[in-house]
Amino acid sequence: MMISTKGRYALRLMIDIASREQDGSPVTMRQAAAREDLSVKYLEQLGGALVKAGILKSIRGVSGGYLLAKPAEDITAGDVLRATEGGCAPVACLEDGAEACPRRSECVAVNFWRGLDRTIEGYVDGVTLADLVKMG
């Protein structure tokens, strides 16, 4: 599975915001972009997806910015990746919808892919933003 720049940058953004959560001040995308050496416009797009997913909240106004919508201990890397990547499935045939494989029910390899998917989901859902802040 290959995580795109959306997922990678969103995780960096969320770790940046979580690491500054103690002071209670909202983090602006400009501040996060400068610290992470990323594009403000790109982070703003990611911020919208993260707000929509309910893991980030936007504060408007002069002293506005972004805060975590819930404690860092309650947000997993999987939450962030699903909000920006759409899912963590290692192969498209495991995803529901238009990309679902018509041979899924008779595929000899599908159990391997399901096992890999469970392992990936277990890992990304087992690491919280609080864990990632401590790792940094």
Which residues are CB-neighbours of 75 under 8 A, at least 6 positions away?
A: 14, 18, 55, 68, 128, 129
Q: Give percent of the chain with pLDDT exceeding 90.
A: 71
- pLDDT tier, 100 (very low <50, low <70, confident <90, very high otherwise): low
Give the residue carrying structure tokens 């990309």: 99
* Residues 50-72, mean pLDDT to the nearest whole number: 95
**In this structure, what DSSP letter does residue 28 have?**
P
pLDDT tens digit string along 17-32? 999 987 888 999 999 9
* Residues 110-135, mean pLDDT to the nearest whole number: 95
Q: Residue 132 corresponds to which amino acid? A: L
Report the 3 state secondary structure along 97-133.
Answer: CCCCCCCHHHCCCHHHHHHHHHHHHHHHHCCEHHHHH
* Residue 113: pLDDT over 80: yes
Complete domains list, the chain, with CATH: 5-87+128-135 (1.10.10.10)
Supply the pLDDT for residue 90. Answer: 85
